[in-house]
Amino acid sequence: MKVLIIGDIYSNIGRVMVKTWIAKIKKKYESEFKIDLVIANGENTTHGKSLNERHYHELKDAGIDVITTGNHIFAHPDVVKYIDKSPDLLRPLNYNPYHPGNGTIVVEVGTKKVRVTNIIGRTFMDKADNPYYAVEQLIKTTEKNSNEISDIHIIDFHAEATAEKLAFAWNFDGQLTCVVGTHTHVQTADNRLLPKGTAFISDVGMTGPFYSIIGANPKEVIYRDKKTMPAYLKPADGEGQFSAVLLTINNETNRAEKLERIFIHPQAPDLKINE
């Protein structure tokens, strides 16, 4: 099984990149393999923050099966209105339990049940509950209920600190199929299998404007940082980048075989899968 996991989609440029590259990847590799499932972090899709209902449908139409999010998910007022009727749009599992929406979903891919869970970090981030406890409880509850058991479990850990994401992945090594980090918008080159087989990368990166500061127009970011004055950040214009990872899962064992990086941008425009 092949799972394409796309890093934080940022603004209209990110949405265009997603539509373009999901189709191109499927086409280029159609004789070698099929992409069985597409997961993407969509928390920056609408003008750099959150995901309105129109853009949610745009991402679904582009071929994304499950949308994960993070700290900006509730920034757009639309989200509280439609998240409860959209179970494939996740908000962090370890958020305030009074928040609407789900933090986890099981999707059927052929004969396999694939669970996708979204959690959020606590280092340099807003308040959230303990992500270890949240996932331990999830695993315990699902083990008791045969309908809830999945063959494969993939987690998007939306967090700032690489060590926080890595420590979490090591703790659950062997229990989870794959842990990918999101949120920093910078793809890391530490994709690997941990000793007991969980696939891991600290950050998948960002899909959006290439000539930008993590998606935003540089001018306002520099003004804010240099002068420590409030600034309204705008999404940058210009050419786009596409950041993703491709997860290969063994169909016999349901274990991760490899996690490879894809990073397409104006200075590296060819589609390449990097081991």
Q: What residues act catalytically?
A: 72
Nearer to Fe ion, 15 or 183 (CB): 183
Candidate segments 68-76, 111-119, 145-153, 253-261, binder of Fe ion by CB under 5 A: 68-76
**Residues in region 243-272 near Fe ion by CB under 5 A:** none
Rounded to 10°, the helix 11-28/53-61 angle is 10
Choosing from 70, 92, 103, 240, the residue that interacts with Fe ion (CB under 5 A) is: 70
Smallest distance, Fe ion to C-beta of residue 120, A: 8
Q: Can you name the residues that pair with 184 across neighbouring β-strands? A: none
Smallest distance, Fe ion to C-beta of residue 239, A: 22
Smallest distance, Fe ion to C-beta of residue 196, A: 28
- Tokens 């959230």, located at residue: 128
**Per-residue mark of binding to Fe ion, 205-234 (x: CB under 5 A):** ------------------------------
Please tell me whether residue 71 binds Fe ion under the rule CB under 5 A. Answer: yes
Nearer to Fe ion, 157 or 263 (CB): 157
Residues 6+ apart with CB under 8 A from 31: none
Q: How many residues bind Fe ion (CB under 5 A)?
A: 3
Quickly count: other Cβ atoms within 10 Å of residue 146's Cβ.
7
What is the three-state SS of the chain?
Answer: CEEEEECCEEHHHHHHHHHHHHHHHHHHCCCCCCCCEEEEECCECCCCCCCCHHHHHHHHHCCCCEEECCCCHHHCCHHHHHHHHCCCEECCCCCCCCCCCECEEEEEECCEEEEEEEEECCCCCCCCCCHHHHHHHHHHHHHHCHHHCCCEEEEEEECCCHHHHHHHHHHCECCECEEEEECCCCCCCCCEECCCCCEEECCCCCEEECCCECCECHHHHHHHHHHCCCCCCCECCCCEEEEEEEEEECCCCCCEEEEEEEEEECCECCCCCEC
Candidate segments 111-119, 127-135, 141-149, 181-189, binder of Fe ion by CB under 5 A: 181-189
Smallest distance, Fe ion to C-beta of residue 178, A: 19
Nearest CA to 186 among 168, 212, 166, 154?
Answer: 212
Nearer to Fe ion, 120 or 166 (CB): 120
**Per-residue mark of binding to Fe ion, 1-20 (x: CB under 5 A):** --------------------
Nearer to Fe ion, 115 or 183 (CB): 183
Candidate segments 23-31, 71-79, 100-108, 204-212, binder of Fe ion by CB under 5 A: 71-79
Choosing from 183, 241, 242, 263, the residue that interacts with Fe ion (CB under 5 A) is: 183
Smallest distance, Fe ion to C-beta of residue 111, A: 34
Smallest distance, Fe ion to C-beta of residue 70, A: 4
Nearer to Fe ion, 71 or 202 (CB): 71
Nearer to Fe ion, 99 or 112 (CB): 99
Can you give the binding site for Fe ion, defined by CB under 5 A?
70-71, 183
